[in-house]
Structure 1
Amino acid sequence: MARVLATTALACTAVAGAAAAANAAAPAARGSIGDIEAQRVDRVPTPTPSWFDCSPAFGEGNECTTVELPLDYDEPRGATTSVAVLRHPASDQANKIGSLFLNPGGPGGSGVEIAAAAVSFLGPEVLERFDIIGMDPRGTNYSDNVRCWENMGEQAAAIEGANIPFPVTDEEEAAYVVASENIGQACSTTGRPLSGSMSTAEVARDMDVLRRMVGDEKLSYLGFSYGSILGSYYANMFPDRVRALVIDGVVDAADWVGTRANRDVPTFTRIRSGEGAAKAFEEILLRCEKAGPEFCRFAAYGDPQDNYAHIRASLLEQPVDLTDPETGEVVYSLTYATMVSWLLVDMYAADAADIIDQDLVLFWQLLQAPAEPGTDEAAAQDDARRALVEKARAIQEQVEAAEAATAQQHEALGLAFPYDNSLEAFFSIQCTDGRNPVYARSWPGHADRADQRAPDFGRAWTWNSSPCANGTWTVRDEDAYTGPFTKVTANPVLVVGNYWDPATNYDNAVKVDRALPKSRLLSSDSWGHTAYGTSACATDAIDAYLLDGTLPAEGTLCVGDAQPFTTPLDAPDAGARSAPQRGLPPVVPPVPGALPRS
């Protein structure tokens, strides 16, 4: 379930040249009298990092350190927790602006790893002018790990009932509720005290201390997905300390916490992730029908919406065991839930429509009555089954390769983490931040209602917060920040929203832009999760803002390079023309059930 559930942020005036370099070396900004958050962090001594070469683990030129920060900022010289930091130095140190902090999402994604990967997706001038900084949020990854069980065996036994993307039947729901309660209870007891000190507010405080540590007067930040929440928290907790803050793939922090009006609604239901996914999927089916079989494979079989409904109904009635045509081995069971999960993962890609088109064709072929052996129809069915098996194995190999790479990094750094805490990390942040219904047993009703508003995807997203039921997740952070999220920042916040994002609904970006007195909304008609890298328009606008404070014009709408069904299927360069022209950031999605597994 660790993989199932958990694998599942300017300036109006230019700050450049010598002035920017001076800004980077200036003393820490001090909060005004009465600024509680500034006073709280400013009394923490500035850490003195011991940077070391960690290129064997994370790539050439990267430096790492660990920093001891207060477990409780009310006790600045009390107990501490270790936070891991990676720095990729600016290639032009003489003209460096300062440091750019990154967060990849999650919650619980590794800032260390996205900073290590920065050379693959950030613009060349950004890499020239900024030290790239990634920190692993407390309790996660290479920082001190939160652990809610003594060992992996106890963890596996406690969550056994939730080793599916999301429950559908009454029996599955009952088992999932029990596992959710087990998670909440374990993290509220064994996981303490760290589990109660992992709110986003604590991570924002940590980031402000690290901003001071690297010598920046104000923060420059680029956060994706959950990283938008961290950026919003920082902007509102330390509004005078914002230099350039970009949030891409936006969640409304007020709804993430829960308001008086919606605190009894599950987290992912109130941020409307399901509606975002359902809207994107419906649009793909409509464009497929309009484009026709010359552009969309699935359209060759009839009305795409009707045929998807047939696939859905078939899998709800009877799952299909996918077997290797050569060996007869059952590779995985294709259920309704794994199918929905697979399609949701497909929609995270910038070329989501092409991938979904391919997969729907495979599902359609698989579910047809067996054709007469030796016919073209039988060959097509065999090809579909073989392709699904190969894709499932490829995904599994990617997971195993990622696990092996992490193990090698741990070994190179002299670390040993035999315990996978990604599940605890994900929920210790989400559940400690937000209000939720009291009882996990109420989630089936919430999921049913979400499914009516956002068919298929509403149910999947709603179950992603069931361990946060307030009756069983009882550990609390007394210093969690709950708002307001309407502060006037020193410099504008650049809010970036993607029309067709399946996880962070575009409506969130509109709400956050309206709530912040100083912000600018950059909209993107693009596909996948987040907008950076999907077009030169979006990427260059973000880079320009980070570098010199230039904001895009009011009402700017960028269009992603990859658009559904615009290139004939028989065009020789169809695949190349649909792909984005820049590398995409390795965003960590908060998606449930990321793999089609049995």
Structure 2
Amino acid sequence: MTAARRHARRWGALLGVLALTVSLGSTTASASPSDRTDRTSRAEAARVDRVPVPDPQWFDCSSAFGERTQCGTVQLPLDYDQPRKATTDVALLKLSVADPSRKIGTLFINPGGPGGSGVQIAAAASFFLSPALLERFDVVGVDPRGTNFSSNVRCFRNLGEQATGLAGLMVPFPVGDAETGAYVASSKAFGAACSTTGTPLSGSMSTAEVARDMDVLRRMVGDKKLTYLGFSYGSYLGNVYANLFPDRVRAVVIDGVLDPLAWAGTPENAGIPQTQRLKSGEGASKALDEVLARCAAAGPEFCLLAGLGDPATVYAEIVASLKENPILVTDDEGNPLFEITYAVLISVLLSDLYAPEGSSWVDQDLTYVHSLQHPTDADLTALRAAFVGRYQALHGPDREGTAAPSGWPYDNSPEAFQSVLCTDGLNPAAAEEWIPASASADAVAPGFGPLWTWASAPCASSTWTVRDEDAYTGPFTRRTAAPVLVVGNYWDPATNYEGAVAAAGLLPRSSLLSSDSWGHTAYGTSACVTDAVDTYLLSGQTPAAGTVCTGDVQPFTDPLGSEPGPQSRGAAPARPLPPVVPPLPGAVPRS
């Protein structure tokens, strides 16, 4: 696997800009006296309603995506202020209801990212959505402009240039002067490339543009109002839509919620990097601390790490040792595979925490690393295989140092993520400002703080200079025609539960559903959450105020067997979880 492809995995997996006056009016809080907070503004209505209803020319794609799927492509304005000029192709997939006579409407769905494929999550809908939803809604997934099967943004002329330009970003986060210097240099190169070669598409990929696309597509499918289910970054898309088009909301669910003021930024917090403002590092650190505490309480019968001493102390010792002496992992012939550095360990642990059963994986992975630092005669073959597998899922299976041929097919997933992140949010001016920001993040969320904070370094405003004058900067307080259902998970390592609380506090008609569950997002982790979301989407009925669900999978409730492995889900739903894409480069979607 080439360096660029490793980077694509890392950056493909995870944040408005300054408000500018445009010909149709601003997308900020200002509005004409006749505009009301519970209605789509005249400016916004003019942007989207004058666009002709597109024809996707649906074709049968069931051989590739499964029964009752149709695919299509529409051309939508690159700039909604100039709808008759340049367009961009947007790809769609529709999973149709089996019995059209029972259809309520269309459920639009987004998996997160930014940059996750709506086409692919819609294709998987029959596996993770409840039968009740599939019987009453067509499900439509949209690949956001610039990404996946839609027209692709490209910031470099070829894959070789991309690999060279982004070489410094090939670590989970930089440690030491050499890595930090390389990371800063590549962040600047990334911003400059997307502000030149990547234009004009890189400057037209804000979440507001995708929300406008979705409103045009809502008209295309014949729905008077939008029904939507968005995960992770998809929560921000749903939030922006609800605030741009408040009277066009039928039912909007946002699960795994980003604090909208942290994502977009305000004049008060613009000096803090976007991915630090979200407090995702704090959420991940809180989740790991709780796993270690529950491991200690459960004891060695339930948790391997507890048999080595106090789990929090053992973890601190592992970290201290790795910072001084990284561990080289070799294959069966003794050839080097990769190095376990402190940063690598943090990235693996974060990947573990994305899953409801992640506590078991944390236990396995820390036990394995401890065994490398303190060799024993125990058979750790299974633990080794699991750790290597998770490392390779994050970083690729091959050894470092292979250059990317420039003629290979271009993978734009780094640009797909970054063009939304940087176009949406305010950020400090220079990439060097991420150095002290990372240090302050590390003080409150060791390891996880820097991992999240550095992700937005390419967004430094002096090098990422391309802007979308129609990006949404707020407000996030519009009164929607129907309540928005906000779902937050206490132990989410990617979208801090505080984000759900903040979003619900801003939206006047929202309903907050809390979940004492593990992993990233909550739909599918318990019948309580799933039934509440389904009921709302079907009928508009929100759960009772103050409802708190409990995830079916909780840490260390099953005794360890003869072979350590993920714990069973006693009352877990029979369906898989949705394939959510966390808002961080290198994040591995849960399965």
TM-score norm. by structure 1 comes to 0.89
Give the secondary structure class of the aligned counterpart of 2:569: helix
Equivalences for residues 171-570 of structure 1 within 5 A: 171-324=178-331, 326-368=332-374, 370=375, 377-380=376-379, 384-385=383-384, 388-389=387-388, 392=391, 418-570=409-561
CA contact (8 A) 1:341 1:592 kept: no
Letter paired with 2:583:
P
Residue equivalent to 1:44: 51
Change (3 A) 1:438 1:390: closer
CA contact (8 A) 1:6 1:590 kept: no
**Deviation readout 1:478-514 (Å, 9 max, x if unpaired):** 1111000000000000000000000000001011111
Letter paired with 1:271:
L
Change (3 A) 1:157 1:417: closer
Greater shift, 493-502 or 384-393, is seen at 384-393
In 2, Cα distance between equivalents of 1:312 and 1:223: 36
**Deviation readout 1:235-289 (Å, 9 max, x if unpaired):** 0000000000000000011211101110111111111100100000100001111
In 2, Cα distance between equivalents of 1:393 and 1:474: 34
Give the secondary structure class of the aligned counterpart of 2:516: strand
Using the TM superposition, give the Cα deviation of residue 36 of structure 1 relative to its aligned residue in structure 2, in angstroms: 1.5
Letter paired with 2:478:
K
CA contact (8 A) 1:4 1:592 kept: yes
**Deviation readout 1:311-340 (Å, 9 max, x if unpaired):** 10111111111012x211212111111100
In 1, Cα distance between equivalents of 2:169 and 2:252: 37
In 2, Cα distance between equivalents of 1:306 and 1:455: 14
Structure that is richer in helix per residue: 1
CA contact (8 A) 1:273 1:461 kept: yes
Give the secondary structure class of the aligned counterpart of 1:156: helix
Letter paired with 1:362:
Y
1:139 aligns with 2:131: no
Unaligned runs of 5+ in 2: 1-6, 15-37, 399-406
Q: 1:588 pairs with 556, 581, 584, which one?
A: 581
1:59 aligns with 2:66: yes
Over the matched positions of the two proteins, sequence identity in percent amounts to 60
Residue equivalent to 1:11: none
CA contact (8 A) 2:259 2:499 kept: yes
CA contact (8 A) 1:256 1:271 kept: yes
Letter paired with 1:108:
G
Using the TM superposition, give the Cα deviation of residue 358 of structure 1 relative to its aligned residue in structure 2, in angstroms: 1.1
In 2, Cα distance between equivalents of 1:185 and 1:454: 30
Give the secondary structure class of the aligned counterpart of 1:91: coil
Using the TM superposition, give the Cα deviation of residue 391 of structure 1 relative to its aligned residue in structure 2, in angstroms: 5.1
CA contact (8 A) 1:249 1:530 kept: yes
Using the TM superposition, give the Cα deviation of residue 579 of structure 1 relative to its aligned residue in structure 2, in angstroms: 7.7
CA contact (8 A) 1:366 1:385 kept: no
Give the secondary structure class of the aligned counterpart of 2:227: strand
**Deviation readout 1:435-474 (Å, 9 max, x if unpaired):** 0000001111100000001111001100010000001000
Letter paired with 1:356:
V
CA contact (8 A) 1:436 1:469 kept: yes
CA contact (8 A) 1:166 1:592 kept: no
Residue equivalent to 2:104: 97
CA contact (8 A) 2:40 2:245 kept: no
Residue equivalent to 1:575: 567
Letter paired with 2:469:
E
Letter paired with 1:4:
R
1:130 aligns with 2:121: no
Give the secondary structure class of the aligned counterpart of 1:378: coil
In 2, Cα distance between equivalents of 1:49 and 1:388: 44
In 2, Cα distance between equivalents of 1:478 and 1:306: 51
**Deviation readout 1:175-199 (Å, 9 max, x if unpaired):** 0000000000000000000000000
Letter paired with 2:44:
E
Name the count of aligned residue pairs.
549
Letter paired with 1:133:
V
RMSD of Structure 2 on Structure 1 (CA): 2.0
In 2, Cα distance between equivalents of 1:82 and 1:387: 40
In 2, Cα distance between equivalents of 1:164 and 1:397: 12
Change (3 A) 1:546 1:420: same
Change (3 A) 1:107 1:444: same
CA contact (8 A) 2:357 2:566 kept: no
Using the TM superposition, give the Cα deviation of residue 396 of structure 1 relative to its aligned residue in structure 2, in angstroms: 7.1
Give the secondary structure class of the aligned counterpart of 1:68: strand
In 1, Cα distance between equivalents of 2:40 and 2:278: 35
In 2, Cα distance between equivalents of 1:398 and 1:41: 45
Letter paired with 2:387:
L
Give the secondary structure class of the aligned counterpart of 1:459: helix
Change (3 A) 1:579 1:329: farther
Letter paired with 1:378:
D
Change (3 A) 1:383 1:367: farther
**Deviation readout 1:530-558 (Å, 9 max, x if unpaired):** 00000000001000000011111110000
Q: 2:80 pairs with 73, 77, 81, which one?
A: 73
In 2, Cα distance between equivalents of 1:544 and 1:33: 27
In 2, Cα distance between equivalents of 1:206 and 1:387: 41
Letter paired with 1:519:
S
Unaligned runs of 5+ in 1: 9-30, 371-376, 400-415
Letter paired with 2:340:
L
TM-score norm. by structure 2 comes to 0.90
Change (3 A) 1:294 1:34: closer
Give the secondary structure class of the aligned counterpart of 1:575: coil
Greater shift, 586-595 or 460-469, is seen at 586-595
Q: 1:156 pairs with 155, 160, 163, which one?
A: 163
CA contact (8 A) 1:100 1:221 kept: yes
Residue equivalent to 1:120: 127
Letter paired with 1:124:
P
CA contact (8 A) 1:345 1:591 kept: no
CA contact (8 A) 2:10 2:394 kept: no
CA contact (8 A) 1:111 1:137 kept: yes
